[in-house]
Chains A and B, each alone.
Chain A
């Protein structure tokens, strides 16, 4: 009986570890967010969020703006140079200006944060990126689905009171 048990245990161990052969692969540079967001994006939807109402659990705290102000024509383009570094951005379409319609940009980090907090897209009016004009949050990074989400948050004394959430799809 005891012998059988030992044999069974050994067999199980063999099955578990026997074929484990780690494959470390060869080194490739990780794909940065710049590569992922490079290009032109079309609007899927845009909504306005009442952050004060949301914080207090008051409904409704969202309004869909997709059907207003020509937002169906909204497009945004992020450019990168040959070295994969961020250069300029531009909003296309005859829509109201919630943030400067063109300028230069820089991410707070070229990679997603282990903490999960959204990477910031800092917007600048100059190519040297010294005059910051606004900031977007990259709340959903493009993956296999060619979709991303940008959030523009309005704050006063550090407290958000309104935000705009743009859902975008890659334009081919």
Chain B
């Protein structure tokens, strides 16, 4: 009983404190936007990773932003619904807005402001994050850069946003285009979204956003756009832009994925550099292309022919031709070596002189 009273007293003592306390929730984690690049009068979704904060998963969180303007001014203790974030998953929330509308400002005024400065809070304003900033990527330099294509980021990731800018003024045949569409694929066209101009939904999906004056923009998240299965490793994205109903096309374009390190080129070699008919001839190929796991050789010395195959892996295919046994009773000053791979592609077709032994 005594302990119970003590507890009550302690609680009463703490109560006023609690009521006045501004609970600090910590710094806002990484933020990003989709589209990756956007004009201030375009709709954009900002994403907030709050795993660095003490907010609870799925909690109601509001944005209180005062720069470039303060739309929810005076409502710290009861945020407006328009300032509410949407919970995505994990510890990620999002907020969708069109900056010119949300801040009631012109694009020029927003561009001239100090940027987007905010705190994240609960409705009643008892919890607040540290002051944070959403970075904005200007891309106006593209308009004068004389570049046909520019991507943000230059090396895309499969599950992250990608913006591709296109200057149709530099693409012959694109004058007077009604619309521009993207014909594309992942991993050397393995997973495609073709521009099927007879299917309305596809026409819409593949359509680039017009920025005016012959400039266009395509925004996508590759995983969603190409409906890539989970675990799909994106190596690159191939695409070309099409005017109207295939009236004109740009040359093929490719973006290498961020997580993808292009493999080193294949290296083929004989071993050793000089050889006699009493030596083994090494045939080695490293860094093979996918599916190349076997070499087939034909060694000809005069009337004698030696054939065989060497099995290996993409990493290395290595074997030795037993010339000492095959050419024991053959007089030859040179050998002709033809090497093909398991797709019947000629890897090497060469003549090697044989050293005369002392």
Q: For chain B residues 318-358, which have a beta carbon within 8 Å of chain A?
A: 318-320, 322, 324-325, 328, 355-358
B271, B276, B357, B358: the one within 8 Å of A48 (CB): B271
Residues of chain A lying within 8 A (CB to CB) of residue B358: 155-158
Query: 7 nearest interchain CB pairs?
Result: A50-B272, A161-B274, A156-B355, A52-B273, A96-B324, A155-B358, A96-B325
Is A52 a contact partner of B274 (Cβ separation < 8 A)? Answer: yes
Q: Which residue of A lies closest to B276 (CB)?
A: A154
Residues of chain A lying within 8 A (CB to CB) of residue B272: 48-53, 61, 161-162
Q: For chain A residues 22-70, which have a beta carbon within 8 Å of chain B?
A: 48-53, 58, 60-61, 63, 65, 68-69
Q: For chain B residues 256-287, which have a beta carbon within 8 Å of chain A?
A: 271-276, 278-280, 282
Q: Which residue of B lies closest to A99 (CB)?
A: B278
Shortest distance between the CB of B356 and any CB in chain A (Å): 6
A49, A61, A157, A162: the one within 8 Å of B275 (CB): A162
Bound complex: CA A48 to CA B282 (Å): 10
Is A65 a contact partner of B320 (Cβ separation < 8 A)? Answer: yes
Bound complex: CA A68 to CA B320 (Å): 8
Shortest distance between the CB of B80 and any CB in chain A (Å): 69
Is B328 a contact partner of A154 (Cβ separation < 8 A)? Answer: no
B273, B276, B356: the one within 8 Å of A53 (CB): B273
Q: Which residue of A lies closest to B270 (CB)?
A: A50
Is B273 a contact partner of A156 (Cβ separation < 8 A)? Answer: no
Q: A63-B282, A156-B358 are in contact. Are A69 and B322 (CB under 8 A)?
A: yes
Query: Could you name 10 residue pairs across A and B whose Cβ atoms are closer than 8 Å?
Result: A49-B272, A50-B273, A53-B272, A61-B272, A63-B282, A63-B318, A69-B322, A154-B276, A155-B357, A161-B355
* Interface residues, chain A, with chain B CB atoms under 8 Å away: 48-53, 58, 60-61, 63, 65, 68-69, 96-98, 154-158, 161-162
Bound complex: CA A50 to CA B276 (Å): 12
Residues of chain B lying within 8 A (CB to CB) of residue A50: 271-274
A60, A69, A154, A155: the one within 8 Å of B279 (CB): A154
Shortest distance between the CB of B325 and any CB in chain A (Å): 5
Given A69-B322, A156-B357, A161-B272: 6 more A-B contacts, CB < 8 Å: A50-B272, A50-B273, A63-B320, A156-B274, A156-B358, A161-B273
Is B324 a contact partner of A97 (Cβ separation < 8 A)? Answer: yes
Q: Which residue of B lies closest to A53 (CB)?
A: B273
Q: Which residue of A lies closest to B324 (CB)?
A: A96
* Interface residues, chain B, with chain A CB atoms under 8 Å away: 271-276, 278-280, 282, 318-320, 322, 324-325, 328, 355-358
Is B271 a contact partner of A98 (Cβ separation < 8 A)? Answer: no
Bound complex: CA A10 to CA B144 (Å): 96
Shortest distance between the CB of B70 and any CB in chain A (Å): 66
Residues of chain B lying within 8 A (CB to CB) of residue A65: 280, 320
Residues of chain B lying within 8 A (CB to CB) of residue A60: 271
Residues of chain A lying within 8 A (CB to CB) of residue B319: 68
Shortest distance between the CB of B286 and any CB in chain A (Å): 10
Residues of chain B lying within 8 A (CB to CB) of residue A155: 357-358
Shortest distance between the CB of B190 and any CB in chain A (Å): 35
B324, B328, B356: the one within 8 Å of A156 (CB): B356
Bound complex: CA A51 to CA B274 (Å): 9
Shortest distance between the CB of A105 and any CB in chain B (Å): 19
Q: A97-B328, A156-B357 are in contact. Are A162 and B320 (CB under 8 A)?
A: no
Bound complex: CA A58 to CA B269 (Å): 13
Bound complex: CA A121 to CA B261 (Å): 52
Bound complex: CA A156 to CA B358 (Å): 5
Bound complex: CA A50 to CA B272 (Å): 5
Residues of chain B lying within 8 A (CB to CB) of residue A162: 272, 274-276, 279
Shortest distance between the CB of B327 and any CB in chain A (Å): 11
Q: Which residue of B lies closest to A61 (CB)?
A: B272
Q: Which residue of A lies closest to B273 (CB)?
A: A52
Residues of chain B lying within 8 A (CB to CB) of residue A161: 272-276, 355
Is B320 a contact partner of A154 (Cβ separation < 8 A)? Answer: no
Q: Which residue of B lies closest to A158 (CB)?
A: B358
Residues of chain B lying within 8 A (CB to CB) of residue A68: 280, 319-320
Residues of chain A lying within 8 A (CB to CB) of residue B357: 154-156
Bound complex: CA A14 to CA B34 (Å): 92
Residues of chain A lying within 8 A (CB to CB) of residue B278: 98, 154
Shortest distance between the CB of B264 and any CB in chain A (Å): 15
Shortest distance between the CB of B123 and any CB in chain A (Å): 68
Residues of chain B lying within 8 A (CB to CB) of residue A158: 358
